[in-house]
Structures are given as structure tokens and as C-alpha cells.
Amino acid sequence: MGKLTAVILASVMLFMTGCATMFNGSTQTVNIRSNDELAKLYVNEEYMGQRSAVYTFKKKENYVIKAEKPGCQTTSITPQKTFDPTTLLGILVDWGIISILVVDGAATGAWQKFSQTNFVIDPNC
């Protein structure tokens, strides 16, 4: 009975892991900087600091990066996402039914990745 339980548990764990999540994770670290020393940087209206910041993006979420400076026009960037081909390895695990659609897609968003992880943004002066 113990071996059967171990096999069932291992099978459930295998099917509940998406390949993109397993290999690339559900987050990405993003570096943001400005050439203007007085520029204030924001991610989704949350203040990150002046001139440079490091932020961890969840692949499932959408973000807006802003640079502000008194007397200047605010500049914003919306990071774009692309499909992560590692997701397709889920076809080998369970034909993609659980690993791609549920885990990498709906649960973690790991089937996509941010196409850029370094941003330079300056307020328009």
C-alpha cells in the first residue's frame, strides 16, 4: 500500500508542475534606470526610488513603469510579454492539459515572459 501511495503522490506532483514554471519560474527580475539623476521611478504607481531600481515582475501581472521629475512631462512604458516556448514541454508530460493550461497558464502565467528586462526611461524635459 505504501508503494501505491508513493506512485500516486509522485504522479500528482508531476502533473501539477508546468514546464515553464519549473525551468523559468513565475517571476522575472527587471532593472529600471534613468539617465536623469532627479527622476523618480514608479512601477504601477508604487515609488521605487530615484535614478535606478530593481523590481520582481510576476509573469501573470501587467505593469506600467513611470519616470517623473518636477517641471517635466511624465514618461511611461508598458513592458510587453511574449510566449515562453519552454511551456510546450508540457505536451510531453500530460499532453499539456494540466501543465500548460492550468499551471503555466491560469495559475502562474509562466507561459509568457517579459520580452525585455532592462529599461531606461527618462522624463520628457
The answer to whether position 36 is within a domain reads yes
pLDDT in tens, the chain (125 residues): 577 676 565 555 554 556 556 667 789 999 999 999 999 999 999 999 999 999 999 988 999 999 999 999 999 999 999 888 777 777 767 776 776 666 666 667 777 889 999 999 999 98
* C-alpha cell belonging to residue 47: 515609488
Q: Is 60 buried (19+), middle (13-18) or exposed (0-12) by CB count in 10 A?
A: middle
The answer to whether position 32 is within a domain reads yes
Sequence-distant (≥ 6) Cβ neighbours of residue 120 within 8 angstroms: 33, 34, 35
The answer to whether position 95 is within a domain reads yes
Query: Is the entire prediction scored with pTM above 0.85?
Result: no
Domains in the chain, number: 1
For residues 57 and 115, is the Cβ–Cβ distance under 8 A? Answer: no
* C-alpha cell belonging to residue 23: 525551468
Give the domain extent around 75: 2-120
The answer to whether position 33 is within a domain reads yes
| DSSP assignments along 12-35, one per residue | HHHHT--HHHHHH-SEEEEEEE-S
The answer to whether position 76 is within a domain reads yes
The answer to whether position 125 is within a domain reads no
Which pLDDT value is given to residue 83? 85
